[in-house]
Amino acid sequence: IFRALAYIHGTLGVCHRDIKPQNVLEESDSSGMHKNFIDFGGGMRFCVGTDFTKMEMVVFLHYLVINYR
């Protein structure tokens, strides 16, 4: 992880300012385990529950507005 940070900071000139375990994506294939940084504005695209959560919020807000007294 530190080598990847050094690479993107030193070579690419990108400073990743939100380093946390949730931003490390682990993938495994036949050649081994790969770790990738996400959250360069793309974290929501990797979340499988995003569409469900949006629908849940729409339904909640609908009932809140309709039944608020």
Q: Are 34 and 26 in contact (CB under 8 A)?
A: yes
The Cα 4–Cα 35 span in angstroms is 9
Q: Domain range holding 21?
A: 1-67
Give the pLDDT score at 59.
Answer: 92
Please give the angle made by the CA atoms of 23, 14 and 11, to the nearest 5 degrees.
Answer: 115
Predicted local confidence at residue 15, as pLDDT: 73
The pTM assigned to this predicted structure is 0.35
Q: Distance between terminal CA atoms of the chain?
A: 52
Lowest mean pLDDT: which of 14-18, 49-53, 63-67? 14-18
How many folded domains does the chain comprise?
1
Higher pLDDT, 2 or 16: 2
Pair 48, 41: CB distance under 8 Å = no
Q: Residue 40 carries which DSSP code?
A: S
Mean pLDDT (the chain, rounded): 76
